[in-house]
Structure formats: structure tokens, C-alpha cells
Structure 1
Amino acid sequence: MNTWTANQLGKGEYAEVNGINLYYETHGEGRPLILLHGGLGSGEMFGPLIGPFAQGHQVILPDLQGHGRTADIDRPIDIKHMADDIAALIDHLGLVKPDVVGYSLGGGVALLLAIRHPEKVGRLVTASAGIRRNATYPEILEQQGQVGPEAAEFMKETPMYELYSRVAPRPEDFPRLLGKIGESMAVDYDYTEEVRNLQVPTLIVAADADMCPPSHFVEVFGLLDGGLRDGGWMGEGRPKGGHALAILPGLTHYNIFMSPLFATAALEFVDRAE
């Protein structure tokens, strides 16, 4: 049983944007909300959470470059490029400041979308996405260093491969995707200054046992004027930009994206009255 499979079908289409033929599904009706999946997955990996997100929202569920039903193109896997893809998709669909929710790789893409194209985003939820490479636990960085084309054979029994082999336009490209993901994870990054100047109301989400320690996500919240003083009886001491933090209990990097707690926290934030 693949728990990464969606329990409801949406309307799937392709959009030629930013030099890529981007697959996306649409679920539900209401204010638009873009939901971005994690690395080696697809929009389908959110499974049963798609239903709650689609209650009261038009959920746009893209498959990022080289993932799911979106074929790879001749460029590196880079969250900056993928953020620009989503910005182009927003324009293509004529969306006006949709809310954006992203997990892991998708959380990084969502963050870079808000940094590079703040005028296109309503509210932002970025989950399980550290803003500095060295915030990730050293043993995880070591494991990431082993991801490459040669790892494809060892991943044949994983949900990632099952999903990819079932939906990808070219299932034989799985080793190529692993190679590109491995190369992207080896690149150093630090978005401290960009986060400090973030203009989009942002919810930072993490599991209490994530790839980075909870203290890192508290640090990110601090860059957004959070956790620096008492919030006050009327919330007057909360972060000036409308930012928030959620550390979700009893979860890890590998199951937070399927947790009802994730959907609840994200929806409470994006639906919050101004």
C-alpha cells in the first residue's frame, strides 16, 4: 500500500511556463492555494491531506521539475529556477496573490518564490526547510552525499520509486533525477539575509524531530521578528510582519507532510483574518 497516493482525483493539465512543461492538478474551489511537494515525490504524496486543503480552497498541485508527471529539462535542480517556474504558473493561471504551502524541497521553493516574487504571494507556509545547509544534522548531510544515479537500484522498493515509475513521462530517468538531486544537495546555501527582509506573512513549520534541530526554526522565527518579546494581551507584541512558528509534536521529516496537524496549522494560518 503506497500511502503517498492521493485519495481523490483532481483535474490534471500541463502549462508551458518558463521553458518547462509543468504538470499541475486542481482540486476544490475557493481562494487559490498552491501546494508544493517534497524531493523525489510529487503532488500526489500529500495523499489524504489534499481533501482538507481543498475544502474552501482551489488547490493547485504542481509537480516540480523532473518530479512526478513533469519531465526533466536541461538545467540543474535548483529551488531558484523552480520558484521562477511557480511564479510563471501563477501568471499563466491568472492567479492573484495565492497562498503558497510547501514541504521540504517544496518548502524551499515556496520560500524562494516569496523572496524573488513577493508581489505574487499572499501568505506563505514553509515546512521542514532549513535556511542554511549547515543547520542540517551532519549525519543527514553525509547520507545526502551518497545520493546519485548509482543509488537507483537500492531505491526500487521505496514509495519514491513506486510513485515515479507509475507516473513519470520517462520512468527510465529516475537515476538522472537522483543524480541531479544529489548535486543540488551538495551546494552550500544560506538565506539568512533574504529571510530577514521577507515581506510576505510567513508560517515556519517543522517537526519536533526534523532534519534540522527545532532551535534552527526558532532562529528563523527570530529573523522574522518572532520570539523576541512577550506577545501581549492583544497580540501587540507578535512579529510585525504577521509571521508565526509551529513545531509539530511527535513527527519527523518523513511523515509531517501526511499529518493532519500539518494541514490544520497551515490552514489556520492562511485562513487567518487580516
Structure 2
Amino acid sequence: MTTTQRDETHAPGRYADVNGVRLYHETHGSGRPMILLHGGLTSGEMFAPILPVLTAKHQVVVVDLQGHGRTADVDRPLDMALMADDVAALIDHLGLDRPDVVGFSLGGGVALHVGFRHPEKIGRLVAASAHIRRDAVYPDMLAQQGQVNAAAAEYLKDTPMYELYQRVAPRPEDFPRLLDKIGEAMRKDFDLADQVRALRVPTLVVAADADMAPPSHFVEVFELLDGGRRDGGWTGEGRPAGGHALAILPGLTHYDIDQSPLFAAVTLDFLDRGR
């Protein structure tokens, strides 16, 4: 089979060689740095509707994770811990001073792993729509995820995800391979409760009120961070000692929260408060 590599010279961003991955990233705006991580089967382009709000006071580095968008896949699993190491290496490559890390869905999981594995490299963390146990996801959604593999590529050709991949991916023919890898990753059982409990980076847990997992799951995550266990007090003395917070956003789903002004607003409020 002939494999072609799309010309990278016309991409609006840059590439960084980290951990054997040519990691695509774009930098927008100026101010305190923020790393922005997209969801599965998409790219950093998904944040276009809220990017102007985020860049008003922040330098935002939008990353395309392994195998997504303009970052070609490599010969390793699609693993959130490995992608977190890529983000940490990108922080070093760019010489950023403890940037905040904001991620949605897959990117939210990667953001959490950056907090687990590289807390000294980042400031604050926002994890949106990122469940910490596989069984927290609704059973019908788990069933759908179990059907994601290369064979599904033919049925996805009319979707925005396929259109995006064909338009920007360095190797457009790799789409079935991406489906195989992300399907395999979603079928693996996991429980991050112990790592969450040990987080020492101030973290905002965000979810839609009609997300892929119930609101109670994200409350559970907040409780692991010592949240929701007592009255907050008149001066906030009862809030979690680590500076953690929770936001359940009304009227949203897993499929539109990333573009919502509400998501941008709570993210900026958390990142900027007290600074």
C-alpha cells in the first residue's frame, strides 16, 4: 500500500518533535499561557467558537494530540498517559512557565494525566467531560464505543469527524487505523480514583448536565478532591484545601459543551481568580 504524507508547510501552526511524535500546535493570543486539548476523533479546531474569548487575556497553545488533526499517528497505543508525556515535553520545548492545562473529553483525560504525572510543570487544570471510571459511562454509550473499529470508517464518511480528518491529517488514509486505536482504548477498563485523590494541582471538574456520564459521577470526582463534604463557609474556609472546584453546566451535552460560552466563562473564572 502506498502511504502519502501531506505537505506540512501550509499548516498555520508549527510542529514539535517530542517523544517520537511530530506534535502539531498553534499559538494564539498573549498573556498567561494555557494548553488546550481537544476531544477524541477531532482536533484543536473544535474550540474555534470560544477561542477568541480564551485568547483575550491568555496565550493559548492549541494542540493536536497523537493521531488527531494535523498530528500523524505513530507506532504506539493511543494512551492518555503517553499523550500527557507529549504535552509535558511540549511545555519544555516551548519554554512555558507552568501553563494551565484545559482539556475536553479525551483531552480532559490527558489533562488529568498531566496533573498526575507532571504536576511541577503546570499551574491549574480544567478537565471537562472526562470520566475517571469506564463504568461511569451510560451502558448504551459503552455499547456504541464497543463498536468503534476500522470497519466503522465506511459508515462515518458523512460525518464532520471524517471530513476534518480528510482535510487536515498528514496521512488521510490512516482514519481506519485511528478508529481501531481509539476503539481499543475505550474498551479498556480503568479507574483513576487513587490518582485523582492524590492530585496536588488546583483542578476544575466540568461537565454538562446531560453528559456521557451522569452528573453524580462528576460530583464523585469532586468528592475525591475533598469537595462537597462540608459547608463552604462565609469566607470559603470550608472549600477544598487544594483549590479545586466543580461546575455542572445547564442545558448542554457532551457534544456541545466544548463550544459553549458557559464553558469558556467558568474556565476563565477558575484560571484567573486570585491571580
**Secondary structure of the corresponding residue to residue 230 of structure 2:** coil
- Aligned AA (2:54): F
Under a length normalisation based on structure 1, what TM-score does the superposition of the two structures give? Answer: 0.96
Residue 48 (1) aligns with residue 49 (2)? yes
Aligned to 1:200: 201
The answer as to 2:193 corresponding to 1:171 is: no
Q: Residues 11 and 27 of structure 1 are in contact (CA less than 8 Å); yes or no, is this contact kept in structure 2?
A: no
**Do the aligned partners of 1:203 and 1:269 also contact (CA within 8 Å) in 2?**
yes
The alpha-carbon deviation at position 62 of structure 1 amounts to 0.7
1:252 is the counterpart of 2:253: yes
Structure 2 equivalent of residue 180 of structure 1:
181
Deviation at 1:121, TM superposition (A): 1.0
Flag structure 1 segments of 5+ consecutive residues without an equivalent: 1-9
Matches within 5 A, 1:1-274: 11-273=12-274
2:163, 2:101 → 1: CA distance?
Answer: 27
* Matched letter for residue 202 of structure 1: T
TM-score by length of 2: 0.95
% identity of equivalent residues: 71
Cα offset, 1:19, TM superposition:
1.1
- Counterpart Cα distance in 2 of 1:247 and 1:235: 19
CA distance in structure 1 between the aligned counterparts of 2:153 and 2:110, rounded to whole angstroms: 24
Query: How far apart, in 2, do the equivalents of 1:146 and 1:193 lie?
Result: 29
Runs of 4+ in 1 over 3 A off after TM superposition: none
Distance in 2 (alpha carbons) for counterparts of 1:189 and 1:39 = 17
| Residues 15-45 of structure 1: per-residue CA shift (max 9 Å, x gap) | 0011100000000011100000000000001
Distance, in Å, in 2 between the alignment partners of 1:33 and 1:20 is: 21
Structure 2, gaps ≥5 residues long: 1-10
AA in 2 matched with 1:200: V
Q: Residue 239 of structure 1 aligns to which amino acid in structure 2?
A: P
Aligned-partner SS, 2:50: helix
Q: Does the aligned pair in 2 maintain the 1:11–1:26 contact within 8 Å?
A: no
Check 1:98–1:11 CA distance in 2 against 1; reply closer, same or farther (3 A cut): farther
Q: CA RMSD in A?
A: 0.9
The verdict on how the C-alpha distance between 1:116 and 1:59 changes in structure 2, with shifts beyond 3 A counting, is same
Distance in 2 between residues matched to 1:162 and 1:54, nearest whole Å: 27
